Amino acid sequence: MDGIKYAVFTEKSIRLLGNNQYTSNVESGSTRTEIKHWVELFFGVKVIAMNSHRLDRRMGPVRGHRRHSNYKRMIVTLQPGYSIPPLIEKRT
């Protein structure tokens, strides 16, 4: 599980939970097959689709990509009937 950094909780990612899609940030060097294997092995679920993209960096009116960004975002779609338990830490 070294490749998966953390789960993402944004408005879009919460909306995607209704479609059985889970969003997380992963290391930039990780491949789709590695992430799929890690998710299936660690959570005991079946992955049917994966989408990934590098995040844009915005500085004022100019948008661009980091040349050596640390992570990319992965959206994993699970088969119906499978789910991943919430990954929320309790903060005090």
Residue type, 6: Y
Residue 58 pLDDT: 63
Between 11 and 71, where is the model more confident?
11
Q: How many helices (H) and strands (E) does the chain have?
A: 2, 6
Residue type, 77: T
pTM of the model: 0.76
Residue type, 78: L
Q: Which domains does the chain have, with CATH numbers?
A: 4-58+66-78 (3.30.70.330)
pLDDT tens digit string along 30-81? 888 988 998 899 889 999 999 988 876 666 666 665 555 677 889 999 999 9
